[in-house]
Amino acid sequence: MRPAIIFGVVAAVTFCACGQSAPRSSSSAGGAGDMTNGGGTTAGGGTSSTGGTSSTGGTSSTGGTSNAGGACDEEATVDAGTGSDFATVGSYAIGHVNYTLADPTAYARPVIVSVFYPVDPASITTATPPAQYPPDPWSSNVPVWTSAHWETLGYDRAYEAPTASSHGPFPLVMVSPGYKDGNWEYFYIGTRLASHGYVVAVIDHDHEGQFVWSLPAGDYLVSMFNRPRDVSFAITELLLKNANVGELLHAVIEPSKIAMSGHSFGGYTAYVLAGGDDDVCDALATGIDAATEPQDICVASPPDSRIRAIVSLDGSSWAMRYEELARISVPSLIMGETSDNFGLDNARPHAAINRDDSYRIDVKGTNHLSFSSFCDGFKLMSRIGVDEATAIPGYSEDRWPCVADASFDPANNPAYRQIVTSYMLGFLNTYLGREDDSWMLTASYAKQHQPQVEFFSSEGCGTTPPSQDQYTCHPHPCQCSGGNRNPFGYFAPPTADGGAP
């Protein structure tokens, strides 16, 4: 999600010192004060705050977390491998096709997906064309990238519409972008996972103002209403293609193995499709008045029972109530920034889900854009003739998040995207029944092989929360804090041109 959405902050509060964690089977219910930052912070400028803190009850404080220096629980040393094979392109060549899915009798709006899929390398020849990536698939205002453009920045090579591998069917992974973000920002997930034997469908949601000529027809709540429905419709349409002889994707997808992933608002979409949202509009406190919204969007969004696992990347869990998150009953991987940047917006859903097959990974040094390829795409815009200053809403050279003053820019660090795809592969392989890579899903593996990762298998702090309206969690290993189960985030409404305030 671009830095157009700013959220209120409720400070974290210390509950207990470093010590033994509660068993995974115990419930996690405590804490006071929640630090929410649904948009994350970005390095190099671009995120502002319109101020305000809020609390829905319990004690709030500006105090930090505690670390009394005691010994933490240690898992047994894991020596089953390093996961290094996931850090490189897999054994399949990568196919790509772009679909506009439209059926007015079944769904009111079209959905565009870029689909990546495994291809047998022997079927690729010098005549096989490179993948075609339209930055704005809704219009012809922007020239098309090819895979070759992205390969100059180290991205995996993909080809346009070759015959799919004969070794299928393969699991399907749906990917939903951040708000106002194009699906091209997540092709790094599509290409890498496809090379390891997955079909990956990256959605482009209509009317979210990616360019100045495509300003949103609605606001954030409209997007929150549409996104889960877009994904469910896309799954249905892709499964129809999978069932139809003669289609490029015929018999390529395994319908019983479907996962959902998303970044920022896309993470919210993943949570909804796994657990449901009882009221799209109930997350609001200030900024936008729900009473002024079209009443047909202030309704429930149901889960989709076809989703068998979810991966959230800096997901906007603030838009879900704790009780809704607690209903999620499929394996989950919650990945994102550390609590220093993102508050407890990754810890809170992990505490609510509270299952043995739920994991949280905080990646040190990241910002909100580290989980997308937005800044790399921004670099490539000029190569296809795009004038960023006139084409990108809210663009300003002095605050644009991709203009980094320092020599290190976390939004452009490929190591972070490699961490994302490696852990996604280990998690999805394990829980979609492909192979047991659960040895990767431990704190011990992270300590040995992923020094930038803080890994959490549980959030229970072994302490009694002040009230049933609160929960406990680990901001960092060996620290204990917590927050209100249902804090209010708030929106900073976009400016008239669709940019950030």
Q: Tell me, yes or no, whether 32 lies in a domain.
A: no
Per the structure, the count of domains in the chain is 1
Q: Determine contact, residues 457/442, Cβ cutoff 8 Å.
A: yes
Q: Determine contact, residues 357/331, Cβ cutoff 8 Å.
A: yes
Q: Specify the pLDDT at position 42.
A: 35
Distance CA 117, CA 200 (A): 6
Q: Tell me, yes or no, whether 48 lies in a domain.
A: no
Q: Specify the pLDDT at position 65.
A: 41
- Cross-strand bridge partners of residue 277: 301
Q: Determine contact, residues 348/323, Cβ cutoff 8 Å.
A: no
Q: Tell me, yes or no, whether 499 lies in a domain.
A: no
Structural domain for 208, as ranges: 92-438
CA distances in angstroms from 199 to 252, 254, 407, 433, 457, listed in the order given: 8, 9, 36, 15, 28
Instruction: Tell me which residue has tokens 């015959």.
Output: 163
* pTM across the whole model: 0.84
Distance CA 298, CA 229 (A): 14
**Residue 113, H or E segment:** strand 111-119
Q: Tell me, yes or no, whether 383 lies in a domain.
A: yes
Q: Tell me, yes or no, whether 139 lies in a domain.
A: yes
Q: Determine contact, residues 362/475, Cβ cutoff 8 Å.
A: no
Q: Tell me, yes or no, whether 225 lies in a domain.
A: yes
Average pLDDT for consecutive 10-residue bins of the chain (501 residues)? 36 38 34 33 34 32 35 52 76 98 95 98 98 93 95 96 97 96 95 98 89 75 93 98 98 98 97 96 60 76 98 94 96 96 93 97 93 89 85 72 62 88 97 93 92 93 84 92 77 38 28
Q: Specify the pLDDT at position 70.
A: 31
Q: Tell me, yes or no, whether 83 lies in a domain.
A: no
CA atoms within 13 A on the CB side of 456: 35
Q: Specify the pLDDT at position 81.
A: 60
Q: Tell me, yes or no, whether 288 lies in a domain.
A: yes
DSSP state of 343: B
The domain that holds 118 is classified in CATH as 3.40.50.1820
Q: Determine contact, residues 221/229, Cβ cutoff 8 Å.
A: no
Which of 175, 196, 169 minimizes the C-alpha distance to 256?
169
Sheet order of strands, 307-313 included: 159-160, 93-101, 111-119, 199-204, 170-176, 253-263, 307-313, 332-336, 358-363, 453-456
Q: Specify the pLDDT at position 450.
A: 92
Q: Specify the pLDDT at position 41.
A: 35
Q: Determine contact, residues 478/196, Cβ cutoff 8 Å.
A: no
CA atoms within 13 A on the CB side of 155: 30
Classify burial at 149, counting beta carbons within 10 Å of its beta carbon; exposed 0-12, middle 13-18, buried 19 or more: middle
Q: Specify the pLDDT at position 194.
A: 98
Q: Specify the pLDDT at position 291.
A: 59
Distance CA 288, CA 291 (A): 9
Q: Determine contact, residues 301/277, Cβ cutoff 8 Å.
A: yes
Q: Determine contact, residues 65/14, Cβ cutoff 8 Å.
A: yes
Q: Specify the pLDDT at position 30.
A: 33
Question: What is the DSSP code string of 233-301?
Answer: HHHHHHHHHHHSTTSTTTTTEEEEEEEEEEETHHHHHHHHHHH-BS-TTTT-SSSS-GGGS-TTTSS-B
Query: In which region does residue 247 sit, left (phi positive, over 0), alpha (psi from -120 to 50) or beta (all else)?
Result: beta
